[in-house]
């Protein structure tokens, strides 16, 4: 089996990058380059040995998948969901895991998304369980009430109705199968890019697209669609309005501006408005900054990124400390992501692809 040619390298690479990320908070480029070089050399050897499984089409598909992984990794980094090092780590794992591993959840040219699913979903479940454990009943009820805002839910429903349709059309056109996890992930990324790349109010855009769907998509008038759509809506209400809002307060801490250090990730954006410095909470870049009425582009003191504060950022904030009007800023309590992706990769190999599809199919009921 081809996997045995790669498994030792995956284990060594995973342990080393997890260790450096835990100890130093970084993933060194030399390990990424070594992983990519190892993958290339092994496939070259397999082709020379005339292994029937490594045909020309296989190699082309793997190459396309790695290029798409690079693009997807960049998009997720641009969205602020992980660092540039994590994006490169994803590319390395994409090259090291053979295509023959992906038995469950196979998506041609997009198989590596199973690594993301097997990484992000367990992380999300772990953090969600931590939130439930760390908060009392009164806090849970408070955040749940905030999540059940009728105006927000209606605007979210319009967005999901419009853009889930566009995603399905696109994937049908390129003949790539979709799964629920991939739809949720892509929708979340679209929220980011609508804010960062367009000057048109996303709410107006979603209404236009939603109206077009009403006119052209007859499948919406069915019980199946209604069930699937309600499930998608509930998922996003819990994710965006309940869990992320609750996480903002549970996984952040107040830090004196004087004690800020490079690498710290602010949980609040600092901006200047009408000659005054102000703060607002950061829960990723999102469409909902528009939907909550924040339609004006703000003049940020420091552009929020997943990489955290630079030395220049820290010096700038300390120089402005007396003018800011506040002494503290909330900082995210970050955790190294490399161990999680290592776990997600091993889970992908052990369960032969999408772990959640595999578990569902393997259950006796």
Which tens digits make up the pLDDT trace of 113-156?
Answer: 999 999 988 888 888 888 888 888 888 888 888 888 888 888 88
In 3D space, the residue among 311, 302, 312, 305 whose CA is nearest the CA of residue 83 turns out to be 305
Q: How many CB atoms lie within 10 A of CB 268?
A: 19
pLDDT at 167 over 60: yes
User: Do 262 and 276 belong to one domain?
Assistant: yes
In a domain, 127, yes or no: no
pLDDT at 342 over 90: yes
Query: Is the pTM above the cut of 0.85?
Result: no
**The domain boundary residue, chosen from 227, 250, 273:** 250
In 3D space, the residue among 271, 277, 276 whose CA is nearest the CA of residue 297 turns out to be 271
Q: What is the pLDDT of residue 298?
A: 64
User: Quick one: what percent of the chain has pLDDT higher than 90?
Assistant: 32
User: Do 11 and 85 belong to one domain?
Assistant: yes
User: Do 98 and 157 belong to one domain?
Assistant: no
pLDDT at 236 over 80: yes
pLDDT interval class at 102 (50, 70, 90): very high
More confident residue, 74 or 321: 74
User: Do 302 and 197 belong to one domain?
Assistant: no
Q: What is the pLDDT of residue 166?
A: 92
User: Do 107 and 32 belong to one domain?
Assistant: yes
Backbone angles phi, psi at 328, to 5 degrees: -125, 155
Please write down the HEC assignment for all residues of the chain. CCHHHHHHHHHHHHHHHHHHHHHHCCCCHHHHHHHHHHHHHHHHHHHHCCCCCCCHHHHHHHHHHHHHHHHHHHHHHHCCCCCHHHHHHHHHHHHHCCHHHCCECCCCCCCCHHHHHHHHHHHHHHHHHHHHHHCCHHHHHHHHHHHCCHHHHHHHHHHHHHHHHHHHHHHHHCCCCCCHHHHHHHHHHHHHHHHHHCCCCHHHHHHHHHHHHHHHCHHHCCHHHHHHHHHHHHHHHHHHHHHHHHHHHHCEEEEEHHHCCCCCCECEEEEEECCEEEEEECCCCCCHHHHCCCCCCCEECCCCCCCCCCHHHHHHHHHCHHHHCCCEEEEECCCCCHHHHHHHHHHHHHCCECHHHHHHHHCCC
Range among 35-39, 132-136, 237-241, 256-260 with highest mean pLDDT value: 35-39
| Burial class for 358, CB neighbours closer than 10 Å (0-12, 13-18, 19+) | buried
Q: What is the pLDDT of residue 201?
A: 57
Q: What is the pLDDT of residue 289?
A: 42
pLDDT at 297 over 70: no
Q: What is the pLDDT of residue 54?
A: 66
User: Do 15 and 72 belong to one domain?
Assistant: yes
In a domain, 128, yes or no: no
pLDDT at 364 over 70: no
In a domain, 122, yes or no: no
User: Do 167 and 96 belong to one domain?
Assistant: no
pLDDT interval class at 196 (50, 70, 90): low
Ramachandran region of residue 293, left (φ > 0), alpha (ψ -120 to 50) or beta? left
User: Do 141 and 202 belong to one domain?
Assistant: yes
Q: Residue 69 belongs to what domain range?
A: 3-116+337-362
Range among 49-63, 175-189, 341-355 with highest mean pLDDT value: 341-355
Q: What is the pLDDT of residue 272?
A: 79
In a domain, 125, yes or no: no
In a domain, 126, yes or no: no
**The domain boundary residue, chosen from 250, 267, 300:** 250
pLDDT at 248 over 80: no
In a domain, 121, yes or no: no
pLDDT interval class at 286 (50, 70, 90): very low
* CB-side neighbour CA atoms (13 Å) of 37: 6
Please answer whether residues 31 and 16 qualify as being in contact, where contact means their C-beta atoms are separated by less than 8 angstroms.
yes
How high is the mean pLDDT of the chain? 83
In a domain, 176, yes or no: yes
Q: What is the pLDDT of residue 69?
A: 93
User: Do 11 and 97 belong to one domain?
Assistant: yes
User: Do 156 and 236 belong to one domain?
Assistant: yes
Q: What is the pLDDT of residue 285?
A: 38
**The domain boundary residue, chosen from 250, 276, 307:** 250
More confident residue, 77 or 8: 8
pLDDT at 361 over 90: no
In a domain, 320, yes or no: yes
More confident residue, 278 or 229: 229
Query: What's the sign of the alpha-carbon dihedral 94, 61, 192, 261?
Result: positive
Q: What is the pLDDT of residue 290?
A: 37
User: Do 152 and 246 belong to one domain?
Assistant: yes
Q: Count up the domains in the chain and report the number.
A: 3
Tell me the mean pLDDT in the region 46-71: 82
Lowest-confidence pick of 90-99, 291-300, 345-354: 291-300
CA distance 79 to 189: 7
């Amino acid at each position: 089996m081809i996997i045995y040619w790669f498994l030792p390298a995956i284990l060594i690479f995973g342990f080393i990058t997890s260790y450096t990320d835990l100890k130093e908070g970084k993933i060194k480029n030399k390990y990424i380059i070594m992983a990519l070089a190892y993958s290339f050399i092994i496939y070259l050897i397999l082709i020379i040995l005339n292994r029937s499984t490594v045909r020309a089409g296989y190699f082309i598909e793997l190459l396309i998948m790695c290029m798409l992984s690079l693009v997807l990794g960049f998009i997720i980094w641009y969205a602020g969901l992980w660092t540039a090092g994590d994006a490169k780590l994803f590319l390395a794992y994409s090259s090291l895991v053979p295509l023959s591993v992906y038995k469950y959840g196979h998506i041609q040219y997009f198989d590596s998304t199973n690594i993301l699913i097997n990484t992000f979903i367990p992380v999300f479940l772990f953090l969600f369980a931590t939130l439930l454990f760390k908060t009392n009943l009164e806090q849970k009820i408070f955040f749940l009430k905030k999540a059940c805002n009728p105006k927000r839910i209606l605007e979210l429903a319009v967005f999901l109705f419009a853009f889930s349709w566009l995603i399905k059309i696109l994937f049908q056109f390129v003949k790539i199968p979709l799964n629920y996890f991939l739809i949720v992930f892509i929708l979340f990324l679209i929220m980011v890019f609508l804010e960062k790349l367009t000057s048109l109010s996303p709410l107006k855009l979603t209404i236009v697209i939603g109206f077009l769907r009403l006119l052209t998509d007859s499948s919406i008038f069915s019980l199946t669609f209604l069930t699937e759509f309600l499930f998608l809506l509930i998922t996003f209400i819990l994710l965006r309005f309940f869990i992320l809002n609750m996480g903002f307060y549970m996984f952040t801490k107040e830090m004196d501006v004087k004690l800020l250090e490079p690498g710290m990730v602010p949980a609040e954006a600092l901006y200047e408005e009408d000659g005054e410095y102000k703060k607002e909470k950061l829960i990723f870049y999102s469409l909902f900054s528009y939907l909550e009425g924040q339609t004006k582009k703000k003049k940020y003191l420091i552009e929020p990124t997943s990489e955290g504060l630079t030395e220049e950022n820290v010096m700038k904030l300390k120089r402005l400390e007396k003018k800011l009007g506040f002494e503290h800023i909330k900082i995210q309590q970050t955790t190294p992501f490399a161990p999680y992706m290592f776990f997600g990769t091993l889970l992908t190999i052990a369960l032969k692809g999408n772990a959640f599809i595999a578990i569902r199919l393997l259950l006796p009921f």
